[in-house]
Structures are given as C-alpha cells and as structure tokens.
Structure 1
C-alpha cells in the first residue's frame, strides 16, 4: 500500500480497509534463506505450488453463479490503482463489469438553482460538545446540498471492453432487428451466454494473467488479459479463426472487440455489481481520433471511422462527462469504427483480413498523453504482470497452514489466505485509500473511509480532495483516529525486524528515515487525541465525551460517554506516540501532554454486578439483552484481541466479557471484520479451537474467487473482511508481543500455554516466512 505525506499541507493516504492486512503482511524485502532452506533450517515453503493450487476456475458466465445462485462477482486483474473486472470471456462481453481506478472520479452538476458558492458555503447543524461549546458539523444542512456533497465526486466506471461478432465482410448483423449503424449497416450481434460453449476461464494468481477458452459459433476462441503493473493499461490477446474476414462455420461471421463508455453519476450509495448508466447516451460526449506521439493525425470521417497507416497505431477516444474528461488510448494493429453517432460504442477489428490474432493495449488516463508511443504493447504487459506478481509472491510474507496440517479445514483457510492476498494487492495497494469494495464496484459512492485533510482529524468518508462527506456518523465517529499511529508502528517494526535482512548500518539508517517520515503524522494525530479528551475536574480524569459515535454505530451519540474500545485505543495510540518521540530523542510539551492524558484517562466502563466491561459508561446494565446494542460490531472483544492489553485492562474480565459476547451477541448480524476480531480475541485467551471456528464461521463467507461476501448491509465484496482475515491469521501464526517461545511452546505474559503457532490448535502445522509478531 502506498503512503503519501506532504509536509505543510499535511496529507496522508491510508485506509482502515487495508489496516489489518498492511500491518501484518508487510513486504520485508528478500526473505532470508536459500532456495531450499528457510532461516529456521526447515525446507522453504513451495510458494508457487500453494498459490497456483487456488487458481480460480470458472465454466459459466452467469453473474449469479451456476443455476442463478450466489454473489455477483467478476474475476479481476489489476495493480492497486487500476482494475479490470471480467466475465467468463476474460473481458466484459456478457456482463458490464467495471473498469475502476484511483484517479477516475466524476463531478456531478450542481443541484437545480444552486451555484458553486452554495456548495462552498454549506453549513450543517451545530451541537454542543462536552465543554458546552457550540460546534458546527457537516450534517443537518439543506438536503439537496447534503445529497450533492455525499454523491459528488463519485468513482467513475471508465468503460467496457468485450467481444463482438459481425458479418464476414465487416458489416454487422443483428439478432434483434435491422437498426442502422453509422455505416448504414445493421448493429452487431450481442454475444449471449447461450452462444458460448465448453468454456473454461482460469486466473493464474502467480502471474496475474486471465485466460478464457471456449467455442463461439462453431469456432475455438482463446482470450488472454493482464494489467500492466506500472500503468493504467490492460493488455488483451484474442486468438480465433473467427477473426478472419468472412469466417465462421455455416455462416460468414467475423469476430472483433468493442469498447463502450457509460454515463457516471452519484445517485446511489451502493452501485453494485455494475457502475454507470449505459442508456443515457445524450448526457455525455465521446470523440475518436488517430494519434501519434500525442498529436492528432486523423479524425473521424462521416462514417465514424478512423484510418491510419499500417502496422502499430494508437487511437484516442476522448470521453467528456459534464466537467470531467478522461481518455482511452488503444494501441495495436487494428481498424476502429464508431457504431453510431448517437452511441458511445466503437468496434475494433484486426487491420489484416487474414489475421487470426488481435492483440491490443488499452490505456486509460485523466490527461492527454504527450507521448502515446510510450503505451506498452500487450506482450510487454503480459511480461510486466508475470514479473510483478512473481516478485510479490516471492518477496513478501507468506503463511502455509496447509502442507503439514491434518485438520481438513486447512484447505479452505489456505484458499482464503491466498485469494485475500491477491485481492488486497489488486484493490488496496494504490495511491489513494481503497473503498470498502475496492476497485470492484462502488460503495459509499466510491469514497473511502479515511483520507487526507489539513490538520490531524482523520475523517470517515472522503474524496480525493480531502472533503469530508456530510453525515452524522461521518462526523462523530472517532475510533479511526489512532489508525495512523498503528500504521507508523508496523512500518517501523518491519525495518527493525531481523527478518528484514538489513545490515546494522542499513537498519539504523532506515529506522531514522521512518521515524522522520512519520514525525508530523504522529505528532498531529496524537495532539488532536489529547485535545479531544475532556478533563473532568470533579473526577480528575480525561474523558471521551458526547457527542460521539462508537465503533458499532448503534448508541445515542449525545449520551455516549467513555466508550470502552475507544478509551483503550486512545491509550494505545498515545503510548505509541510517546515511544515514537522517545526514539527521536525529543521531549517537548506535546509528549508531556500525551503522557498526562494517557495516564489519567478514565477507567474502562465496568459493571460491578456482572463483573463485565460495558460498551460505554452509564449504559443500562441489561444492554446484553437488548438487540439494539448487540446486533452490530462486537467491539468489546477487541479490548483483548485486536488490541494488545492496555494499561488498566484486566485480562480476566476481558475474557469473561468476550465469552459473554459469544453467548449474547446477535452473531447473525455480524459481518466482515467482526469474525477476525472475534478470532483474535479467542486466540489471545488461549482458546485456539474457537479462534479457528470464528475464521471459518458460515456467515464469514468468501466467493469462489475469494471476494468476501458483504451480505444484507453492504455489497460484495467487503474487503475489510479480507484485511481482517490476513491480520488474524498472521497474528495466530506468528504470535504477538508478550509471549516467549520455549521448546516449541509459548508462554504468555498471563502464564497461559500456547503452541508455537499460538493461535492454532492441535492438527494444524503452520509455517511462516517473512512474518513478524503483532502488537
């Protein structure tokens, strides 16, 4: 995952979606040891064999799976900033799956009667805070402005690329009638699922290359696709006799490609599985030209066709949506024709009538290229994908729970680990933070839950400009505030770890670089946390007081006082900030202030009668019986699980509280990262069997290609589930601070006895390479 810090403006790019996976499966450089032997003297993990064992294979193209059941999920290729989502053809022939990017955002038109000044001067409601001050928030303003600010900008679907079949002479044939195209011909054949026979689609995880093989109108077709690891470019190769002019058994038909462009608009909070509107063609504009080195050398003729010289050429399609312009560059040996002046669909055919291969690169960009010849060829893209993915799998941390395990569930857990690692790399390793559904579809209008902003208050739902979206939850949630302090700590640990294979001098230098790099983030984040904590002179404690929303988002924000999870996370975060500046050798007013607040934070809310921790101080004692409080994120188990023990935490009470959660919580309403958090809690308690049960709980489901099922609350995929799984597995495999190995056993600071892989029970033989302990 990328980080991006700019001094002065103080911008940071990170996301909770990737928090749980980033903090554990950190790339540590070359894993030490020879090709045959690991650093412990054991045989190295056969990474390639394990990865390829779980290559997704599909044989149908129903978006609802075989028989119309299951989740609508594509097979996906990408590089973290750009993703190409495909159907059974390894393209978007049958289903309009999305092409999404980090940069592809569209501004909508202002509400009727509104101006730019109205947007800039938006004011929400004013609520009193714990000091009695009236604080303005970004919610409760005019409804039309709130709706605009939530939905604009929205993440845009850049286009659709698929197969098309035409008559053998290059004209087109329709299944639905004789509607003329720009050439006076009839429209193309729309390929349907029933046209495709004997299909097999394979995603090779080790190389990132998709391959589809099937029969179409009596001829074999092979399609391969891959994404360049260094640019927003997809490489496509099609092989078939149907590409020949006048081919096809029983009837002359010719195979080609189409590229189409939708209208994007922020109408829906969740746009899934498909993004954009394909029938509102009058609202946007596309134009076609032939370019060389960035200068136009050919324009559309009256028939919508662009011609150029032989050999490799580059066509540019300019797409204008309201005030947003983007570009698609098509590079290869081809001819291209616009289907109709009233549509935004273009047909691409081999420039040679005798070719049985069509190879193209399609590059998407927010800017016109100065040198279009720099677009990589499809062959270069396939090489880039192979090299990039091999390096990713070989040089980052790796966990093998399968090879030596006797528990039959190891196969499924290993599948989830491998596919989650692949999908995290595709969706959560870019220049901007990922949204919950990554680059698959749009949730929350495509916006992410943590972004950059002047200052150090890390908001919940932002766009690339840093603007927070209106909403009570967006403004009053505070539990995400310490996240950057954890990010910083894990990057520092990756440098300090003996697994990094650095020399002493290199380690010292890199450690200093990391300390300096994160200095402003740590300082400003912790300063805000210390300032937010309100000092109650009567009690002599610092408190987290109303109005606030807790992580479960199900309490009254004006009555929520000293929530347990947030208090513990505040303690952890401020302590990490103190340690950071101690390593820097600096003692200033900020560090003293952080220490004062941390040492005098309110105690965790505790029900003396039940002997259990509470969600927040003052909550009714029978909240355990009220579904209003027990039907969302069970954050109480995070006190001693995801979070390490913090000052003042009683681990015996924490265990009893977690066990009560297991009995009383409405688990049927849990989703995503709830289950890894439950697993981490069970692991720290020494209940390894329960930890594995939570990770493989029936409600914590992953589709055939590894996408975590969202359920009724959020669309699929819900990638916090993937990140949570990876963090939990790594922690359970390699352990956490506070226990020491002794002849294959581990003894925790509470005296509990663990196996060498402390979160796994008997029957599991777990091996790790390049993984460090959790906090």
Structure 2
C-alpha cells in the first residue's frame, strides 16, 4: 500500500531566494496566487506570473462602444453544405496584434482581479517593496493546502499563513508580524491580453465600506467582501485597511483575517455559480472578538481535511523504488500538477490556460484545450470534478445548436474561444478548428467508465448525441462515397491558417472523428436507440488518415507538413485509441520521423506528453518516459509545478493536464494492456486507483460498393438534404 502522505509531502514546494515558482491556494472556483510574502504585495518581474485573486464568477465587461456589431465579423465560406458563416477575423490573433473593431468582442467579458492583499508598514503606512524584504522561505504544505511565507522586514521576522476554504469563496490570511498591517486594494478590469487588473482607472469603479462589508461595483459586475477578524476602513481610492479588532492602538496584535467574497450582480452568475452554497462567516459576536476561534483556524482546518481526503481517496503513482532521476521527476510533476489542476481547473467552467492565477486570452477558455484540462480527473479517481464541469456543455447547448443550424448541420457545434456569455471570439483560427468537437464524447465516455451509472445520465447522453450529430452532418461526401472533413477548417497544428478556405482532411481529426462516432454509437446501443448502428456505418466510410504513400502526416491530402509547433498528427494514435485505421508500424514511422527533425524547440507544453502517449500505445515505455520529460523550452516545470511558455504565458495549465493524462495512460494502462505499460519496468512503479484509459477498438471492415448507406439519417437537418 502506498503511503499517500509520504508520497505527496516529499514534493512540497519550498521556495527560497533564487528559486523560481509561484504558489496558489484555492478550490477550483476561487484561487489566490501569492508572491513570496504570501500576499500580492510585491511587483512581479517582467515576464513573470502576476499573482491575483480570481474567481469563476469574476467577469467584467467594459461598456460596449457605439458602432461595431458582432455581426460585422461574420464571413461566409464555401463548404460542402453551401455557404456557411464563421466568426472570422481579418489579421493575426496573436497578443499585441491590432484587432481593430473586433477588439471589444475578443476582450469582453474578461476576468478581473477581485482584490489584492497588500502588506504595509504600520509605522509609515507605506506598501512593502522588494527592497524592504529579505526573503527566507515559502512552503506549500500539499497535504493541508496551506502556504506559509517567512521573510524579514527591517530585520524583524514575519510569517504569513494563507489558505482557502475547500468549498466556499473564502480566504484566510494570518499575519504574524506586529509591525505589519494588511490592506485590500481593488483594481478595474483590463482588456489587455494577459492582464486581469487596471490600476489606473480609479474613476470607473466604486469601493465602499459598510460595517464589516466591502461593496464593489464595476459596470456589470458587483460583489462584496465580508471581513471577519479585522475592522475594514476606507483609507483612499479603492484602498481598505484591515485593522486589528483592538484598533490602531493595538500595536502588539497579529492579524487573523477571513475574507468571504460574494457575487451580487453579473449577467453570468447562473453559469458560474449555479447552486453552490454561499460562504458562511463567523457570527457578529465572534467577529467582534476577533474571529479567531471560528475564523482563520476554521478555514485552515477545513482545508487540511479536504486536501488530505483528496490525496487519500484518489489515484496515486509511487516511483520511489526507482533510482532513475526521471522517475523522481515524473512523480514530482504528477503531484504538483494534480494540486494545480485542483486549485485552478476544478470548477464549473473550462479554465483559462493560465487558470485562476492571471489572465491569458483575457481569461477566456479554449474548448480544444478542455480535454487536456479535464480528462485526467476521472483517470485519477476524481470523476465528480469532470462530471460537474460537463454541465457547461448543457448550458452552452442553445448557442452551439444555433451555430450548427447556421452551418446547415444538426446537433451542436462547440466553439473554441469563448467566455461565459457563450459568444465565440472573432478569430482567424478558433472558429475553424474541429478537434474540440469530439471532446465532449470522449469526456462523457471517461465519466461513464469511471462510474457506469453515468451512462444513464440524460444530460451526458444529450451532450454525446448532439456532438455526434454535428460530426455526422459536417462530413464531406466525395463522388466515390467516401467521407472527409472540410473545407473550411484549420487543423490542430494551427498552421496554414491563410489556406483555411481550402484545407481538408487533417489526419488527427479524421481519426478522432471516426473513434468518437463509434463511441457515440455505443451510447445509442446502450439506451436502445432505434438508429443505433448508423454512426458506426458512417465511421466505416471515413477517409483513412494516411496519405497516398500510406504514411501518417498532418493531412491526408494537402499542404506539405510544417515541421514545427504541434506534431498534431501523432495524436491520431495516442490521445485517440487505435481503431485499426493506423497500423502500429505506420504510427511508429510517424513518431520516428517527428523525432528525427521536428523543431521541438517550438513545441508547446502539451506536445511532449502527447508524443509520450503515442510511444506508450506503441509499447515503447523507455521512449515514452523520455518524451514526457524531454527537455524543451516549454516542457520545463519549475519548483511550484508551473510550465513556462513565453513572457505572456509564464504558466500553462494544458501542460499540467497533459502530463497527468499521459502519466495515467502510462501507469494505469488501457483496456487489455496489463499494468504500467508505458513505464520502464525497472522503475517498479506502484499504482493505486488510476483507471485504465480506453483501449483499441476492433477494426471496421470496409463496406461493399457501390451502395454506400446514406449519410443523412431519417431526421433531416434544417435547410439541408442529401441524395
């Protein structure tokens, strides 16, 4: 039996001077990321993470400008179903690019930093700076979910303890330094690509204090911060001092503060809050007495119980029996990634790629990344978290159905880059991607495999069916009766964007679509649907992912493979379980070809884990381990577990989620694989509670010709007929 506490605790992040990392506390729907003081006091270095307090409900929109309309960015493209509309963007969509009249629609709503915890010198009232502080040690106790920060200020020792409630939007901050005070400072929202705060627009929002409650208003967002254990008082524009209950004269008192954040007004509350209970603070009497017994200590206790239960009850991978340094590093990345994903990605919404630490793409989420963010949860024994997040698709169904109808398809077309308003961002890439479409089928299948009762979940059944109907209708029927994808489209590699009007048949998407249609058909069979079998017949007619020379490359037919960025074609035999359309020797040749001269320096944080999954499926555990830990610029995990990508993306949750998905496949295996098929045998891995991933499907025999079945089912799609 694995000693769970020993496994987790040996990877506690400890940050000392010169060690990179940023620690966070949170619960998936609210998180506080911390500088080395345990607050957000110190200015971050350029290109470093910008710690903030963010919540799933904390979305803000600037007033819309007069003139531009969302419809201005709709452009029609020729498709096999006639001309269809896409929310397009003329010009590049990279950070800093001139977005023109599309800017407001790409930037609103955006997540906003809800507050900043700021330490001040009680004697001078001045905010601490890096020059005032001598850093010593900051420690995240993973077993308890508590961060302890120790430093010197004016030669005097200071200790800050920070924790988050496991269920409610509540933070606890304990300041053990009688000469330090604590303030809350409040910013406005920002339209900048990677910023969650604007400190220079004080006249555009409102901060007021009424007894123990702080009231905040920013255009369409209003919320309160209820304070226990201290007395809040307004000290300046959007500055609130938190004084010890004994008042300013109580110079010997440490602070033990509890902050409860409550959304009051936002157009997005039904989606972002739902039926989650409101936080509960100590009674007024307890608050007047300092709130110590029922305040910070209670939050810390709840955090400790919840985190210890999480580590005890979910999956574990113990590689301590190996002397191979790769094993220790993989174990470390797994433990830290699980903590980060639970803090930043375990809520009701798909997370931003920087989670709840700072904004990227203005805090908006990308559904093609949702598999990387969430597939690992049921594989590691936490199906409840993924099932909670699947309600997002139910909420998004009306908008996704409308997009599908406009494109002459049934079902639901899931968008790529959106916020909680469910409007797709204008983009030259996002609306043309297809690999997010099978994800809900795959995620629902992982839910069902973890908990068979979820196979009867009507909401999941609806999500699977609606996703499959669009996949069925979006297919192109060629004169020979075979089926393909596009045009228009952009492949998962996100190259050849300028050719999106002509591109067709990317290999990964062909393989993923065929697999997802067969899985959706199995869902039909289990519920006794009359049209069970139809989707499998359609999958049989799909084009092979292989090019005319029988190789696995980016496109079946199309532009030559660009050998940089994502080697997305490898996903067709890794993330996608084998279906017989890509023989193992062909997948092995594609992997060796990519290893030979791919520009791995340009790959992203999920590419090495994805390639490791392909190697594991091919029975090459040593190569899988090497690929998962390959030293590339965007596959290096710092002491806190974050994976740097570039200055505007100093952390990247898809890298953490992909590492967990790959490690689950390598250690938990897949149907019929045997134990730990993707880990070197000499590592002597101990595996507990990690579920097998989906295994290979039996190859489909080709249909006899010339009588292929009709692609369209008996219920015709709106405005579309196929003979």
Category of TM-score, reference length = shorter chain: 0.7 to 0.9
Shift of 1:123: 4.7
Q: 2:585 matched to which residue of 1?
A: 652
Q: 2:54 matched to which residue of 1?
A: 100
Q: Is the 8 A contact 1:101 1:439 kept in 2?
A: yes
| One of 263, 267, 270 as aligned partner of 1:366 | 263
Q: 1:522 matched to which residue of 2?
A: 464
Shift of 1:121: 4.8
Q: 1:769 matched to which residue of 2?
A: 688
User: Which runs of structure 2 are paired with 1:580-619 in the superposition (5 Å)?
Assistant: 580-588=523-531, 591-608=532-549, 611-619=550-558
Q: State the Cα deviation string for residues 734-762 of structure 1 (Å, max 9, x = none).
A: 212243x4xxxxxxxxxxxxxx4211224
**Per the alignment, in what secondary structure is the counterpart of residue 33 of structure 2?**
strand
**Per the alignment, in what secondary structure is the counterpart of residue 692 of structure 1?**
helix
Is the aligned partner of 1:350 residue 2:292?
A: no
Q: 1:193 matched to which residue of 2?
A: 130
Q: Is the 8 A contact 1:562 1:605 kept in 2?
A: no
Gaps of 5+ in 2: 44-49, 92-98, 266-277, 288-293, 368-391, 402-411, 695-723
**Per the alignment, in what secondary structure is the counterpart of residue 305 of structure 2?**
helix
Q: 1:737 matched to which residue of 2?
A: 671
Distance 2:605 2:206 in 1: 40
Structure with the higher fraction of residues in helix conformation: 2
User: Which runs of structure 2 are paired with 1:358-757 in the superposition (5 Å)?
Assistant: 358-367=255-264, 377-401=295-319, 403-450=320-367, 452-454=396-398, 455=401, 456-496=412-452, 510-511=453-454, 513-514=456-457, 516-536=458-478, 538-555=479-496, 556-588=499-531, 591-608=532-549, 611-620=550-559, 623=560, 629-699=562-632, 700-711=635-646, 715-739=649-673, 741=674, 756-757=675-676
Is the aligned partner of 1:264 residue 2:212?
A: no
Is the aligned partner of 1:135 residue 2:78?
A: no
Shift of 1:765: 1.2
Q: 1:499 matched to which residue of 2?
A: none
Shift of 1:119: 3.7
Q: State the Cα deviation string for residues 221-259 of structure 1 (Å, max 9, x = none).
A: 22111000111110111223x2xxxxxxxxxxx421010
Distance 1:617 1:370 in 2: 54
Q: State the Cα deviation string for residues 679-720 of structure 1 (Å, max 9, x = none).
A: 1111222222111111111111111100122236x6021111
Change (3 A) 1:377 1:371: closer
User: Which runs of structure 2 are paired with 1:30-179 in the superposition (5 Å)?
Assistant: 44-60=1-17, 65=18, 73-95=21-43, 97-111=51-65, 113-114=66-67, 119=69, 121-131=71-81, 133-140=82-89, 144-167=100-123, 173=124
Change (3 A) 1:577 1:671: same
Q: 2:268 matched to which residue of 1?
A: none
- TM-score, normalization: structure 2? 0.81
4+ runs of 1 displaced by more than 3 Å?
118-123, 140-145, 368-376, 511-514
Change (3 A) 1:533 1:711: same
Change (3 A) 1:371 1:196: closer
Across the aligned residues of Structure 1 and Structure 2, the Cα RMSD in angstroms comes to: 2.2
Q: 1:226 matched to which residue of 2?
A: 163
Q: Is the 8 A contact 2:23 2:33 kept in 1?
A: yes
Q: Is the 8 A contact 1:453 1:467 kept in 2?
A: no
Q: State the Cα deviation string for residues 250-279 of structure 1 (Å, max 9, x = none).
A: xxxx4210100011121x2233xxx31223
Shift of 1:144: 4.7
Distance 1:197 1:371 in 2: 36
Is the aligned partner of 1:316 residue 2:217?
A: no
Change (3 A) 1:579 1:265: same
Gaps of 5+ in 1: 1-43, 168-172, 174-187, 243-253, 291-314, 497-509, 742-755
Q: Is the 8 A contact 1:78 1:227 kept in 2?
A: yes
**Per the alignment, in what secondary structure is the counterpart of residue 339 of structure 1?**
strand
Could you say which structure has the larger radius of gyration?
1
